[in-house]
Amino acid sequence: VGYALAVVYPTAGNIGGGGFMTIRMKDGKTSFLDFRERAPLAATKTMYLDAKGDIVPRASLDGYLAIGVPGSVMGFETAREKYGTKSRQDLIAPAIRYARDGFTLEQGDVASIENSAKRLAKDEAAAKIFLKPDGKLFTSGEKLVQPELASVLSSISDKGTDAFYKGMPADAIVKASQAKGGILAKEDFEQYQVRELKPVECSYRGYDIISSPPPSSGGVIICEILNILEGYPLSFLGYGSAETVHLMTEAMRYAYVDRNAA
């Protein structure tokens, strides 16, 4: 699914990004994989500040200084090796097909590309993929074909993670980064590792909650919100009632104050 989404839903998942995976097996065993992007080895505390120590607007969001070392490929393969039942080739085959033969764009896909069209047009490589040769937008019902992505996915399918982290994709990313003011180096890719951690666990009215630990904030926040709400009679107050909505809002507010202050 992750590889397929990298092709058909690039705004939400891609092999140039990373992620988390909370795992629960049928025997009750749980685990958590952290394969989020990592900061380059050359990153510093002041890399997004100007000479006066002020924050450079959008420096951490746009451009090659905003890019971390991708973790998705290593994360997917780690999950497959430790907990999967199918071959890498079988799992990646649908994604290769979608990239090679194209997939039909729906209105939501077209709208997503349109919202980013000006930014995509500024980058030659991105424009080549997501815009037509004349710079115009795709329309609903047309196909988006990504032959270069198909080639990369095929190499991962054949050779595993080394094809990405020690092969052409890493070389191309590093070359582009160095040419455009970034600090990514080949060593960043070669030293990337997935971390396996114990999930956050809590209970709520007799239910066991298993969720993501730091560096994700989601699991801790969910447990704090539920722990607060467990002390109030929500079923008596009623779903959607003013009292219930008020209690949920305040529980979320306090939990996120703790998150943002941590």
Give the pair of three-digit tokens for residue 208. Answer: 């066991």
CATH code of the domain in which 212 resides: 1.10.246.130
**Number of domains within the chain:** 2
Average pLDDT, integer, range 187-195: 97
Residue 12 has pLDDT above 90, yes or no: no
Dihedral sign (CA 61, 62, 68, 70)? positive
Average pLDDT, integer, range 192-218: 96
Asked whether residue 206 falls in the same domain as residue 89, the answer is no
Asked whether residue 193 falls in the same domain as residue 219, the answer is no
Asked whether residue 214 falls in the same domain as residue 97, the answer is no
Does residue 97 lie in a domain region? yes
The proportion of the chain whose per-residue pLDDT surpasses 70, expressed as a percent, equals 100
Query: What pLDDT is attached to residue 71?
Result: 97
Give the containing element (helix H, strand E) for 33: strand 30-35
Q: What is the per-residue pLDDT across 16-72, written as a single tens digit (0 to 9) for each?
A: 999 999 999 999 999 999 999 999 999 999 999 999 999 999 999 988 999 999 999
Q: What angle do CA 231, 22, 255 make, to 5 degrees?
A: 35
Kindly tell me the burial class for residue 57, based on how many C-beta atoms sit within 10 Å of its own C-beta (0-12, 13-18, 19 or more): exposed
Asked whether residue 254 falls in the same domain as residue 216, the answer is yes
Asked whether residue 174 falls in the same domain as residue 214, the answer is no
Asked whether residue 156 falls in the same domain as residue 225, the answer is no
State the Cα–Cα distance between residues 14 and 2, nearest whole angstrom.
8
Asked whether residue 251 falls in the same domain as residue 160, the answer is no
Query: What pLDDT is attached to residue 14?
Result: 87
Q: Which domain holds residue 52?
A: 2-102+145-197
Classify 160 as helix, strand or coil: coil
Q: What is the per-residue pLDDT across 163-185, written as a single tens digit (0 to 9) for each?
A: 999 999 999 999 999 999 999 99
State the Cα–Cα distance between residues 206 and 210, nearest whole angstrom.
13
State the Cα–Cα distance between residues 237 and 243, nearest whole angstrom.
7
